[in-house]
Amino acid sequence: MSTDSSTSNFSGKYYIQLIIFIIAFGLFVAVISVIINHFLNPHIQPLTHEVAIHPYRALALYFAFVAAASVVVPVPTLPVDLLFFSLLDPAFVIVVRIAGGIAGGSISYYLSYNFGRPLLKRWLSGKKYKFVEKHSDSISW
């Protein structure tokens, strides 16, 4: 197994920062999930009543939420998924979930393709931008 010399550029400091980021990101997602679960409790009668009266409007809002959650990564959809699975036909919910995920993924691709490089150039210093470019060019499928 060959070792790439570019991977030796990472010091222990970067690994610690990566671990701290993963933990902080996980805690952030957990807090968002708890907040969503608190406000979208399926036992809240007005919400259940509104979804029962306007199921297509609810599915349209669910589609928009899933698409937005696909673009803005740290927004968890699991509490909302479970809510809609319990209130509506799961087959419709699965179809809307897949369509929303595809739409959100397409929007993410469009935004990153057209605006990703200029944003990286603006937000990162020249040295860090060159580092990202060097390593992104070496990554391929």
pLDDT at 36 over 90: no
* pTM score of the predicted model: 0.61
For 23, residues 6+ apart whose C-beta sits below 8 A from its C-beta are: none
Distance CA 2, CA 4 (A): 7
Lowest pLDDT segment from 36-40, 63-67, 109-113, 116-120: 36-40
Amino acid of residue 113: Y
Q: Give the start-to-end residue ranges of the domains of the chain.
A: 11-135
In the predicted model, what is the mean pLDDT of residues 11-17? Answer: 81
* pLDDT single digits (tens) 102-114: 999 999 899 888 8
**What is the predicted pLDDT for the residue at 1?**
45
> DSSP readout, 44-98?
-HHHHHHHHH-HHHHHHHHHHHHHHHHHSTT---HHHHHHHHHHS-HHHHHHHHH
* pLDDT single digits (tens) 63-88: 999 999 988 876 788 878 888 888 88
Contact 85, 49 (CB under 8 A): no
CB neighbourhood size of 106 (10 A): 13
Distances (CA, A) of 5 to 2, 10, 83, 85, 140: 9, 10, 49, 49, 17
Residue 40 pLDDT grade (very low, low, confident, very high; cuts 50, 70, 90):
low
**How much is the mean pLDDT over the chain?**
81
